């Protein structure tokens, strides 16, 4: 079993829909990152969380430390949101990032 599991692996939705991507992990962590990767490879860091909730524009990220679970939400989705979304955790006391396998999101106009 991977230390970091993401679901779903693939998600196709209509423009305007509310999107939720989930990340579960099995180890104690000090921080969790949500990353966005567009075709061509470039990766952008969206959020770094250690507790609670963060919001940036139409994106919201939450984390529940007790349940070892994080979610990334996208409101009013747009075709430009189409990308692979990757969850990565930094294990407690360990400065190494462990990555989930990613969720491929496609938003149809």
Partner 1 sequence: KAGVTQTPRYLIKTRGQQVTLSCSPISGHRSVSWYQQTPGQGLQFLFEYFSETQRNKGNFPGRFSGRQFSNSRSEMNVSTLELGDSALYLCASSLASPAATQYFGPGTRLTVL
Positions in the binding site for partner 1 (CB under 8 A)? 30-31, 33, 35, 41-45, 48, 86, 88, 90, 94-102
Q: How far is the CB of 13 from partner 1 (least distance, A)?
A: 23
Nearer to partner 1, 61 or 77 (CB): 61
Q: How far is the CB of 97 from partner 1 (least distance, A)?
A: 5
Q: Which residue has the tokens 């209509």?
A: 14
- On whether the CB atoms of residues 88 and 35 are closer than 8 A, the answer is yes
- On whether the CB atoms of residues 68 and 77 are closer than 8 A, the answer is no
Q: What gap in Å lies between CA 107 and CA 4, rounded to an integer? A: 25
Nearer to partner 1, 42 or 109 (CB): 42
């Amino acid at each position: 079993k991977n230390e970091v599991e993401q679901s779903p692996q693939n998600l196709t939705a209509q423009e305007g829909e509310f999107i939720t991507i989930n990340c579960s992990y099995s180890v104690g962590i000090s921080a969790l990152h949500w990353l966005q990767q567009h075709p061509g490879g470039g990766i952008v860091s969206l959020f770094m969380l250690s507790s609670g909730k963060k919001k940036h524009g139409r994106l919201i990220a939450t984390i529940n430390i007790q349940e070892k679970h994080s979610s990334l939400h996208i409101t009013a989705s747009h075709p430009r949101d189409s990308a692979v979304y990757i969850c990565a955790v930094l294990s407690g006391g360990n400065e190494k990032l462990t990555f989930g396998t990613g969720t491929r999101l496609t938003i149809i106009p």
